[in-house]
Amino acid sequence: MSSEEVNKENKLWGGRFTGTTDPLMNLYNASISYDAKMYKEDLEGTRVYTQGLQKLNLLSAKELEAIDAGLTIIEQEWSSNSFKIVENDEDIHTANERRLGEIIGKEISGKVHTGRSRNDQVATDMRLYCYNNLSQKIIPFLKNLISAIIHRGEEEIDVLMPGYTHLQRAQPIRWSHWLSSYATYFAEDLERLEQLTHRLNKSPLGAGALAGHPYGIDREFLAKGLNFNDVIGNSLVAVSDRDFVVEIMFWSSLFMNHISRFAEDLIIYSTAEFGFVQLADAYSTGSSLMPQKKNPDSLELLRGKSGRIFGNMAGFMMSLKGIPSTYNKDMQEDKEPLFDTLLSVEHSILIATGVISTLFIKSENMHKALTMDMLATDLADYLVKKGVPFRETHHISGECVALAENLKLSGIDKLSMDQFVKIDSRFTQDVFEIFNFEQSVEHRDAIGGTAKSAVLAQLNKLKTKV
């Protein structure tokens, strides 16, 4: 047999073609370089599928036993890095079936693809791979990140810092309130991811190329064997649906948007101008020129990778949007951005967890950054409690701030009693009692507020989600 004949025989689709294939086309068409990571899912799909064939008496019990033994050997080869990819192993499905034939003989291995198409095979592999990756890695890792933030929030509940809007000092808050805000974002991400994972866990196996299975295979049996929670009810959709890929990329883009904002806050807080936090050496680098530098590279990479992940989603959406129904080869473009996204998200969660677990906070600098003008709202609230409409008190408080600035005082608390009364006669001596940062945060004890009780309630509620 010539080498060209061998090549054609190895191709799952080679019988129709009589001419040679452009070598560049072989390279252009191949996906084994990246879809090999689905080897476990591909072998498991074949194992369960052949059980379904045996139920139809299309395989004997002895043949099924040989196939199962061969699949076990192949899995051991992959896991030990001894599996040898050969020419014409264009994808993981071809490679595994070719190797199975070498181990148990092609007379038996040639039966494993009966009634099955690579269209439903790859869709099955991908759903299994995504489910396993999300449920066994990303979801547990994300829970660990949230737990690390919650733990830190509980430990450092007494630390106060400025809260910002427009990156301008606004009102005093607890450092734990800031931590709780990102734990809340990530907990909502977790909820969305769990919902997504449930949706993607549907079986396309047994749908054939597009029209369904010619031998009446029990698709519910296949789904149960692979731990899917449902069967995709339309064979056209089963082979061509990549909404789960898009949804994973959507989710990843939103999650990484939250990670990026988290990183950006910490980058700002770590600057000398703020000096609120200091990264552990394990998550920092130095400068090749300036020996004094300690760069927050871990956080900058988190921020940068968010753009990469959004780009993966946008690129695949452009590949997907114009293709006609059922399977088209364009869909092969799903794997590289998907796999890159999953790995990048996994690593980003682990890095973020490491950063927040080892971060050193400079609570004294946080407290020094609190200024009395941040209590201007408290000054307005003081008059509200005396029955003055808030719109009026807002204006009065602004006058007090302006007067302190014009007099070049260090804060509104340095105004005299006479100066307060001159602005509004309803001020009395107890006005000076409001100039207390701890008292300010403790007044905000409604649900979601920055009082200690409110923040601890937030953290306790978040614990129930992880």
Which residues are known to be catalytic? Answer: 166, 287
- φ/ψ (deg, to 5) at 306: -60, -40
SS (H, E, C) 191-223: HHHHHHHHHHCEECCCCCCCCCCCCCCCHHHHH
| Amino acid residing at 339 | F
Residue 274 phi, psi (nearest 5): -95, -60
Distance (Å, whole) CA 335 – CA 32: 11
- Provide the residue type at 465 as one letter: K
C-beta of residue 221 within 8 angstroms of C-beta of residue 53:
no
Q: How far apart are CA 384 and CA 398, in angstroms?
A: 14
**What DSSP assignment string belongs to 309-377?**
HHHHHHHHHHHHTT--SS--GGGGGGHHHHHHHHHHHHHHHHHHHHHHHH-EE-HHHHHHT--GGGGHH
Instruction: Report strand pairing: 168-174 vs 202-203.
Output: unpaired
Burial 271-288 (b: 16+ CB within 10 A, else e): eeebebbbbeeebbeeee
Q: Are the CB atoms for 237 and 211 separated by under 8 Å?
A: no
Query: Judging by DSSP bridges, how do beta strands 202-203 and 230-231 pair with one another?
Result: parallel
Helix axes 92-104, 39-55, angle to 10 degrees: 60
> Directed axis angle between helix 390-406 and helix 376-384, to 10°?
140
CB count within 10 Å of CB 221 equals 16
Tokens read off for 241 = 């649906």
For the chain, the C-alpha Rg in angstroms (whole number) is 31
Which structure tokens are listed for 217? 């295979």
Strand 277-278 to strand 168-174: parallel, antiparallel, or no bridges (unpaired)? unpaired
Q: Which amino acid is at 211?
A: A
